[in-house]
């Protein structure tokens, strides 16, 4: 009970909602880093996944590599990046870049693999029927394959987003701010209110993201794909 009270008290304290170390600015840092890394990962992984899904070219190699990427521990990736990013920029290379790059590495594989599987999973007969009606390859990709694969594509993006938001807290250990900072400080100062406050904030952010993605998916995916057959 003390824990809940302490957490509530910390969250309610107006002092914690002010200044460069306050909740709003840490939240913004967290969201900005997650958003940028998700965007960059999507810009790389989506076109690649769509392309190998549509053509089937190199798909085995690329998907196997992406699945192996998934085995990379983020904590180790962030750490390993430090010696190299500090060469580029001694300051940001020690605080921001390692976490940013590691989050891109983390987000890429689920986006790529789902894009590939979604497109490759579209019934070949359907694609051939579209081709037989005189659709061009680009019309088939954007008019047939992507709309049908959308639930799978969206699942990849959603998984990546939630994973990045949860994992970006690790950045606090490596000089990056974000919501993880409260957890680190709470742990170091034996301040349970701050520690659990940080945990609550991260979980809320991840759940809100999850919810937002699910809502968006429901709006974007055609009802023809979600409705069950009528009798």
Partner 1 sequence: MNHEPLVRWDWLFAHLGPIADRVGQHLYLAAIAVGVGFAISFALAAISIRRRKLYPAVTVLATAEYTIPSFALFAALVTITGLSILTAEIPLVLYTIILFVPNIVAGFDSVPWDVLDAADGMGFTRGQRWWRVELPLAVPLVVAGLRLASVSTIGLVTVSAILGQGFGGLGYYILDGYQRHFTTEILVGGLLSIALAVVADMAFVLLQRLLTPWAARRAEVR
Partner 2 sequence: MTVRETGHARAASLEFHGVTKRYGRGESAHGAVNDLSFAVPAGAICVLVGPSGCGKTTSLKMVNRLIEPTEGQILLDGVNVMTENVTALRRRIGYVIQQVGLLPHLTVGRNVAIVPSLMGWSKQRQSARTDELLSLVGLDPERYRGRYPVQLSGGERQRVGVARALAADPPLMLMDEPFAAVDPIVRERLQDEFLRLQHELAKTILFVTHDIDEAIKMGDLIAVMEAGGRLAQFGSPDSVLAHPASDFVAQFVGEDRGLKRLSLVTIADLSLEPSAARPGLPTFGPGTKLRDALSVLLAADTSGGVALDDAGKPRGFVTVDAIASALAEGRGTVANP
For residues 105-137, b (16+ Cβ closer than 10 Å) or e, as one string? bbbbbbbbbbbbbbbbebeeeebeebeeeebee
Taking CA atoms, 41 is separated from 1, 143, 164, 192, in Å, by: 42, 24, 11, 35
**Among partner 2, partner 1, none, residue 120 binds (CB under 5-8 Å by kind):** none
Of 21 and 64, nearer to partner 1 (C-beta) is: 64
> 149, 119 in Cβ contact below 8 A?
yes
**Among partner 2, partner 1, none, residue 53 binds (CB under 5-8 Å by kind):** none
CB of 158 to partner 1, least distance (A): 10
Among residues 152, 151, 146, 113, which one has the least CA distance to residue 127?
146
Of 144 and 168, nearer to partner 1 (C-beta) is: 168
Q: Does 153 bind partner 1 (CB under 8 A)?
A: no
Instruction: Report the interface residues with partner 1, using CB under 8 A.
Output: 3, 68, 70-77, 79-80, 82-83, 86, 90, 110, 159, 162-163, 165-167, 169-170, 172-174, 180, 183-184, 186-187, 192, 195-196, 198-199, 202-203, 206-207, 210
């Amino acid at each position: 009970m003390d824990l809940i009270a302490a957490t509530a008290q910390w969250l309610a304290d107006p002092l914690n909602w002010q200044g460069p170390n306050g909740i709003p600015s840490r939240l913004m840092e967290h969201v900005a880093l997650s958003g940028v890394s998700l965007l960059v990962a999507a810009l790389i992984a989506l076109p690649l996944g769509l392309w190998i899904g549509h053509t089937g070219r190199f798909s085995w190699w690329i998907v196997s590599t992406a699945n192996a990427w998934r085995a990379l521990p983020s904590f180790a990736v962030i750490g390993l990046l430090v010696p190299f990013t500090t060469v580029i920029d001694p300051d940001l290379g020690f605080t921001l870049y390692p976490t940013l790059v590691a989050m891109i590495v983390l987000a890429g594989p689920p986006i790529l693999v789902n894009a590939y599987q979604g497109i490759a999973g579209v019934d070949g007969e359907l694609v051939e029927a579209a081709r037989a009606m005189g659709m061009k390859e680009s019309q088939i990709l954007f008019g047939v394959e992507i709309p049908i694969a959308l639930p799978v594509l969206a699942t990849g993006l959603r998984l990546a987003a939630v994973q990045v938001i949860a994992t970006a807290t690790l950045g606090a250990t490596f000089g990056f701010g974000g919501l993880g900072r409260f957890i680190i400080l709470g742990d170091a100062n034996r301040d349970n209110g701050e520690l659990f406050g940080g945990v609550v904030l991260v979980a809320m952010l991840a759940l809100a993201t999850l919810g937002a993605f699910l809502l968006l998916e429901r709006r974007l995916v055609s009802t023809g794909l979600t409705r069950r057959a009528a009798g």
